[in-house]
Structure 1
Amino acid sequence: MPNVRAVPTLRRRRLGNALRAYRLAASLSGEVAGAAMGWDESKISRIENARARMPPGDVAALLKAYGVEDVDAVAALESLARDAGKQGWWQTYGDVVPLSYTDYLTLESDAESVHVYTPSLIPGLLQTGAYAREIIAATAITRTAAEVTALAEVRKTRQAILTTRAEGPLKLWAVIHEAALGLRSASQPTLMKDQLRHLLDMTELPNVTIQVMDLHATAHPGMLGLFEVVRFPAPWPTVVNLENLRGGSFVEGTDDVKAFENAFERVVASALSVDDSRAKIKDIMEGTGA
């Protein structure tokens, strides 16, 4: 059977980066690491650069050669090696879902928790179908109507991670600026009333925390824009996702990530309490009419 070229998925890149970090920490060259496994140096290089698959059964042996015997670290890398080539459910949508979005969906599916601040819209995991389509149609300005519909379906399907994920629901902490709760749709008069009611329903989930940033709140770091702090079970490092008109980008590295974690703490402190946020959402919903 001919060799199948490995696709450098996000999970494979994360695995390669972790293995490289452990090798460098052990002060081993690729040649020495390969010799310890009976491989040539090029295989180590291909694995670390996500161009070759890492057999899950070889993870423990390679890490032992690097002096890593922590059972949690070994188990985490073995799990990632097993899942590295798996196709996500979003792959059925083909090229409609851009690479940066597929990378984020992969991160989200592996995450333990997401902390998000949004200054002008409802976070994707909390959107109704009608709201999602309205927002995507307005922001994905190069997309066809069919592609907008497909992306709205993807956004709704994502939300199962809050309720039905096999390994347990994602923990979501969302701080939403009050301005995002006042959107109006000329074509769908009840759009925001339905969306706000959905937010209230979502606050009933034990893994979902929602706060509102009051219009009259004091200055805070979130004034610079939307950001998401995505956390994973140990030993995986936290990643920050930033979004703009052309898609998302990731912030990694201890110091940079810590800055966003501190920023989110300050955003939380500036926002209304959970109970006051529910009251605010209810008041706005009751004032929408329709």
Structure 2
Amino acid sequence: MGSPIVLRRRLGGELGKLRASRELNAKDVAAALGWSASKLSRIESGLVPLQERDAARLLAHYGVTSPDEVKHFLSLTRQSRQQGWWHAYGEAVPERFRAYVGFESDATKILTFQCELLPGLLQTEAYARNVMRSMQPTESAGEIERRLALRMERQRILDRQDPPQIWAIIGEAAIRRPVGGNAVMAEQLRHIADLADERPNITVQVLPFSAGAHASMGASFSILFFSDIPGSIVYSETITSKTYVEDQAEIARHEDVFHRLMASSIQPEKAITRLRNVAEEYGI
């Protein structure tokens, strides 16, 4: 059935198509219902849950009267409001990050470029714990451990029967920065090299310092693709914000940037060797 987040996105997409089929402007629909334009946009993007009463108002505004069609939309609305597995981790999952966890759980392909950090799905416990301690210095040990447990739980998608295709491009700065010390980094880099070497669904490249200026200077991002809902999304984050890109022209731009990064990076087989060599340089 998919996660509630993906069902929410499917519902929003269907409602958006319904509005477009009536040749209605999103701004006008929002105004007619007493909503902000951003509320309707976020509903159609699947970034916020939809109340059944609001779904009923939308359907009435669009002139949907077929009992079967109304039943379909209201049933999908209820399903999309169910709690995902990540709710068990409480505040360890910030509100804006919950959508990403849901999308990641149902993605069939993930392209990710990381400048400074190693990709979350490929992190070891020791590396992730040190990153979290550095980025959240005021959090208690218990809170850090809850965040760490969430990250390890997210990685279970790599072990499922139909794991997503992962293509990760890692900036050389991320493999040269000794997070947690030499032993932690040696273990971490060998872990990534082993994943890329042993699992056909995981591909890793390294963007070397020697590439110079590149297509995504200072900006990390991930592109997620799905099999059962249309389109893809781009996700990026800073210290204080998390951004989802839904516009197809902007997504296409990110895909172009990713392909240019691929061309500038060390190719997969040599990247595995580079990771193992740097692990040896850490002296462990």
In the superposition, the TM-score normalised over structure 2's length comes to 0.78
Counterpart-to-counterpart distance in 2, 1:218 and 1:246: 28
Question: What residue number does 1:51 align with?
Answer: 51
Counterpart-to-counterpart distance in 2, 1:110 and 1:143: 30
Question: What residue number does 2:30 align with?
Answer: none
Counterpart-to-counterpart distance in 1, 2:142 and 2:207: 34
Counterpart-to-counterpart distance in 2, 1:110 and 1:249: 19
Task: Give 1:246 deviation, angstroms.
Answer: 2.1
Counterpart-to-counterpart distance in 1, 2:190 and 2:64: 50
C-alpha contact (below 8 Å) 2:122/2:155 kept by paired residues: yes
1:57-96, Cα deviation, whole Å (9 max, x unpaired): xxxxx9997xx9xxxxxx9x99966852332221111122
Q: Secondary structure at the match of 2:209?
A: coil
Question: What residue number does 2:177 align with?
Answer: 183
Counterpart-to-counterpart distance in 2, 1:185 and 1:227: 21
Question: Which one of the candidate residues 105, 110, 121 is aligned to 1:125?
Answer: 121
C-alpha contact (below 8 Å) 2:89/2:146 kept by paired residues: yes
Counterpart-to-counterpart distance in 1, 2:77 and 2:227: 16
Question: Which one of the candidate residues 167, 185, 190 is aligned to 1:192?
Answer: 185
Distance 1:117 1:91, change over 3 A: same
Moved over 4 A (4+): 62-65, 77-83
Segment drifting more, 10-19 vs 209-218: 10-19
- 1:145 equivalent in alignment to 2:119: no
Counterpart-to-counterpart distance in 2, 1:247 and 1:26: 34
C-alpha contact (below 8 Å) 2:215/2:257 kept by paired residues: yes
Task: Give 1:125 deviation, angstroms.
Answer: 0.2
1:88-115, Cα deviation, whole Å (9 max, x unpaired): 2211111221011211101111211110
Question: What residue number does 2:37 align with?
Answer: none
1:231-290, Cα deviation, whole Å (9 max, x unpaired): 112542110001111242111111111110111010111100101101111110111113
Query: RMSD between aligned alpha carbons?
Result: 3.2
Question: What residue number does 1:202 align with?
Answer: 195
Q: Secondary structure at the match of 1:175?
A: strand
Counterpart-to-counterpart distance in 1, 2:64 and 2:176: 53
Gaps of 5+ in 1: 1-8, 30-40, 56-61, 69-74
Task: Give 1:156 deviation, angstroms.
Answer: 1.0
Task: Give 1:222 deviation, angstroms.
Answer: 2.1
Q: Secondary structure at the match of 1:174?
A: strand
1:107-126 correspondence to structure 2 within 5 Å: 107-126=103-122
C-alpha contact (below 8 Å) 2:8/2:77 kept by paired residues: no
Question: What residue number does 1:283 align with?
Answer: 277
In the superposition, the TM-score normalised over structure 1's length comes to 0.77
1:142-168, Cα deviation, whole Å (9 max, x unpaired): 42221111111111111111121x5x1
Counterpart-to-counterpart distance in 1, 2:171 and 2:134: 19
C-alpha contact (below 8 Å) 2:11/2:77 kept by paired residues: no
Counterpart-to-counterpart distance in 1, 2:94 and 2:83: 15
Which amino acid letter does the alignment assign opposite residue 223 of structure 1? Answer: M
Segment drifting more, 85-94 vs 173-182: 85-94
Distance 1:106 1:127, change over 3 A: same
Which amino acid letter does the alignment assign opposite residue 274 of structure 2? Answer: K
Question: Which one of the candidate residues 16, 21, 26 is aligned to 2:16?
Answer: 21
C-alpha contact (below 8 Å) 1:11/1:80 kept by paired residues: no
- How many residues end up aligned between the 2 structures? 252
Segment drifting more, 17-26 vs 271-280: 17-26
C-alpha contact (below 8 Å) 1:11/1:83 kept by paired residues: no
Q: Secondary structure at the match of 2:236?
A: strand
Distance 1:130 1:240, change over 3 A: same
Which amino acid letter does the alignment assign opposite residue 191 of structure 1? Answer: V
Question: What residue number does 1:134 align with?
Answer: 130
Question: Which one of the candidate residues 82, 85, 98 is aligned to 2:81?
Answer: 85
Counterpart-to-counterpart distance in 1, 2:259 and 2:241: 25
Q: % of aligned pairs identical?
A: 31
More helix by share: 2
Question: What residue number does 1:253 align with?
Answer: 247
Question: What residue number does 2:100 align with?
Answer: 104
Task: Give 1:122 deviation, angstroms.
Answer: 0.5
Counterpart-to-counterpart distance in 2, 1:189 and 1:117: 24
